[in-house]
């Protein structure tokens, strides 16, 4: 079955580019969803998609999510994303990423990209040889480095809003937090929570990550298959998307779900069950925006202090989402979407530029 191109119009995308260069093994899509507030910003993912259709579906969904994430955290960027079809363990090469970088450059600042699953700072450095329209460069190249510490910092700001809302308390001390995934964000989150005297229980499919977390922070570990059964105050999905589904919710005993993974809720039916179980859900793209804030600031000359100030706003953004959710009797996820839609609608009239002029990039 072929791809249904009606999806492009239904999801509201402005432009989708297919990048092909068989001689270097490149097959990729760049999707620009919405540039009402500015040029599209979003990472590049490398994944061994089983078909072009699946890659296209993924890039459409991810790029739309980026529009909402940028808008919700107050950045003046649009939403975009790219996916490269390939196995990051086998198919990476300098020529592949430089060729992809040249494709990004052809868009002349309509799309700015950075790291995502399967793509690391070395790959970004190759792209940077062909285009200025990349972020997440190493500090040596005037970049902001790995953004995951800022994502974790933003998560903690958001968590503060969640505990005030659902638990009527203002301290993380003594809180039990279960973390699924001890990768870049998960590990930084463990550090911040342990420092705040919260109790952390976690898992990872990678035994080395578990050992590292235990050795460094002395946290309790469980098997990945048991993670949904651990009673806790907060469940933090920090691995892959889609981990909150009817099956996991049937055993989850938590009061709050707040984590970094994108697209945490498997589908719409999950919302009703969250409500029935009185679980407060922090919409993923609102609470995990710290990393995006960090890389966006690279374009104006990176300052960690300024990034922290902006990431601190995640607390206020979530407070507003919960307020709207109560006022309009809708779920927090719907409230976040409404808030973002309203900002896009209100600011569309300004008619901001869809391009980032190279001369305006001020890397440190
Ligand atoms: P990562 O790849 O460094 O870490 C993910 C970890 O999850 C890995 O250690 C992996 O072994 C583990 N994992 C995978 N499946 C698992 C499972 N079923 N059970 C337990 N552990 C499992 O990624 P990251 O950068 O830490 O990002 C984590 C999530 O947050 C991703 O979904 C990412 O898209 C999202 N996110 C990350 C950032 C960031 O700044 N890095 C920003 C926003 C959103």
Q: How many residues does the chain have?
A: 364
* CATH dotted code for 148-344: 3.40.50.720
3-state class of 97 per DSSP?
Answer: helix
Give the H or E element holding residue 47. strand 44-47
Q: Where are the domains of the chain?
A: 10-66+77-134, 148-344
Q: Please list the pLDDT of the chain residue by residue as tens digits (364 residues).
A: 577 788 888 999 999 999 999 999 999 999 999 998 999 999 999 999 999 999 999 999 999 999 999 999 999 999 999 999 999 999 999 999 999 999 999 999 999 999 998 899 999 999 999 999 999 998 888 889 889 999 999 999 999 999 999 999 999 999 999 999 999 999 999 999 999 999 999 999 999 999 999 999 999 999 999 999 999 999 999 998 899 999 999 999 999 999 999 889 998 889 889 999 999 999 999 999 999 999 999 998 899 999 999 999 999 999 999 999 999 999 999 999 999 999 888 887 777 778 788 888 877 6
Catalytic choice (64, 81, 92, 255): 81
Contact 292, 67 (CB under 8 A): no
Structure tokens given for 90: 């086998």
To the question of domain 10-66+77-134 being in CATH 3.40.50.10860, the answer is: yes
Q: In a mutational test of the pocket of ligand 1, which residue from 124, 237, 238, 263 has the highest number of ligand atoms less than 8 Å from its CB? A: 238
d(CA 348, CA 355): 15
Q: Is 189 in the pocket of ligand 1 (CB under 6 A)?
A: no
The residue behind tokens 């969803």 is 33
Residue 17 alpha carbon to ligand 1 centre in Å? 27
DSSP assignments along 151-183, one per residue: HHHHHHHHHHHHHHHHH-----TT-EEEEE--S
The residue behind tokens 């009185």 is 278
81 is catalytic: yes
The radius of gyration of the chain from alpha carbons, rounded to an integer in Å, stands at: 20
10-66+77-134 and 148-344, same CATH topology:
yes
Q: Is 310 in the pocket of ligand 1 (CB under 6 A)?
A: no
Q: In a mutational test of the pocket of ligand 1, which residue from 41, 72, 183 has the highest number of ligand atoms less than 8 Å from its CB? A: 183
């Amino acid at each position: 079955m072929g791809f249904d191109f009606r999806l492009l119009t239904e999801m509201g995308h402005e432009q989708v580019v297919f990048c092909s260069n068989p001689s270097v093994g490149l097959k990729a899509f760049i999707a620009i969803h919405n540039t009402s507030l500015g040029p599209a910003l979003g990472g590049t993912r490398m994944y061994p998609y089983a078909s072009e259709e699946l890659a296209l579906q993924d890039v459409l969904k991810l790029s739309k999510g980026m529009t909402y994430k940028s808008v919700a955290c107050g950045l003046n960027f649009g939403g975009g994303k790219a996916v490269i079809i390939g196995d990051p363990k086998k198919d990476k090469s300098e020529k592949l990423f430089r060729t992809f970088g040249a494709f990004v450059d052809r868009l002349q600042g309509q799309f700015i990209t950075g790291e995502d699953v399967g793509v690391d700072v070395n790959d970004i450095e190759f792209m940077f040889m062909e285009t200025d329209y990349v972020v997440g460069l190493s500090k040596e190249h005037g970049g902001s480095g790995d953004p995951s510490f800022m994502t974790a910092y933003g998560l903690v700001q958001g968590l503060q809003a969640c505990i005030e809302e659902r638990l009527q308390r203002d301290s993380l001390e003594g809180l039990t937090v279960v973390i699924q995934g001890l990768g870049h964000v998960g590990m930084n989150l463990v550090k911040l929570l342990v420092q705040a005297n919260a109790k952390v229980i976690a898992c990872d499919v990678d035994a080395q990550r578990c050992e590292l977390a235990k050795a460094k922070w002395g946290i309790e570990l469980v098997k990945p298959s048991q993670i949904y059964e651990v009673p806790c105050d907060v469940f933090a999905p920090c691995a892959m998307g889609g981990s909150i589904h009817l099956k996991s919710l049937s055993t989850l005993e938590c009061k709050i779900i707040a984590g970094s993974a994108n697209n945490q809720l498997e589908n719409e039916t999950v919302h009703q069950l969250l409500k029935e179980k009185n679980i407060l859900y922090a919409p993923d793209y609102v609470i995990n925006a710290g990393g995006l804030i960090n890389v966006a600031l690279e374009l104006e000359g990176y300052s960690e202090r300024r990034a922290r100030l902006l990431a601190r706003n995640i607390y206020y953004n979530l407070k507003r989402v919960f307020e709207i959710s109560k006022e309009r009797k809708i779920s927090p996820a719907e409230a976040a979407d409404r808030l973002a839609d309203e900002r896009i609608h209100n600011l569309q009239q300004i008619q901001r530029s869809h391009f980032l002029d190279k001369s305006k990039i001020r890397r440190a």
